[in-house]
Homo-oligomer: A and B are copies of this chain.
Amino acid sequence: MQILVVEDEKRLAQALRQILTEQKYMVDVVYDGNDGLDYALSGIYDIIILDIMIPYKDGFQVAYELRRQKIDTPVLMLTAKDTIPDKVSGHNSGADDYMTKPFAPEELLARIKALTRRKGEVMMDETDFGDFNFNASTCELSKDSKSVRLNFKEAEILKLLLANRDAIISKEDIITKVWGYDSDAGSNNVEAYISFLRRKLHFIQSETEIKAIKKMGYRLEQCHD
């Protein structure tokens, strides 16, 4: 699933990239309308996130030109909060949806899902890592014939670990993503759940480990003897 982000505001662009790559989307970011149109015309994207106020060509022009050239990649327009008239232009100019800045990551992801669902692409939610397999739609963790069901938080944490494959994910990240933004969960909560996960991995006799890196976070590692 490939996403093109056309956004000149560097901070926002960076935030978008992070949010999206975390969800395992492949992301390309460009910073103005000319590049945006060039990239978009390739037709390889599943969705285009397009700010309206960008250099050279604005979002409307890009979207309009895209449609004129029969590229029907869904376009999600980003617009400043107070520009109501933009909604109309947005809908006329080939945008499929629009969203006002600022927005919650969840909202962005929801809209992306709505737009891509229409393409009829069913997301596959089986993941392999090392010697085990995790089925996100049933929350089942399995190796060979053994399997256990993970509960909600265990599953969320494992998904995060899997999404970050060979990077280290910090406890703070885990807390904000699983417990939420303003929860008062402490690091021991994460530790407890990591412990539960380890027990279940051990139960299915997986050799994969959840490694702790002091002061940094956790990371999945397959055992390499």
Contact = CB atoms under 8 A, between A and B. Distances in A.
Contacts of A120: 70, 72
Interface residues of A, number: 27
A121 B112 CA distance: 25
Given A69-B96, A138-B167, A168-B138, A117 B215 contact: no
Contacts of A119: 70
A202 interface: no
Interface in A33-92: 41, 43, 68-72, 74
A51 to B, nearest CB: 21
A151 B74 contact: no
Contact of A117 (B43, B137, B152): B43
- Number of copies of chain A assembled together: 2
- Chain A contact residues, majority secondary structure: loop
Given A71-B118, A118-B69, A167-B137, A151 B96 contact: no
Nearest to A155: B216
A213 interface: yes
A214 interface: yes
B118 A219 contact: no
A127 to B, nearest CB: 15
Nearest to A221: B138
A119 B71 CA distance: 8
Nearest to A115: B69
B213 A139 contact: yes
A185 to B, nearest CB: 16
B152 A216 contact: yes
Given A68-B72, A139-B216, 20 more contacts: A41-B118, A43-B117, A43-B118, A69-B74, A69-B96, A69-B118, A70-B118, A70-B120, A71-B118, A137-B166, A137-B167, A138-B168, A138-B219, A139-B168, A139-B213, A149-B213, A151-B213, A151-B214, A151-B215, A152-B215
20 contacts: A41-B118, A43-B118, A68-B72, A69-B74, A69-B96, A70-B118, A70-B119, A71-B118, A72-B120, A137-B167, A137-B168, A138-B166, A138-B167, A138-B168, A138-B219, A139-B168, A139-B216, A152-B214, A152-B215, A152-B216
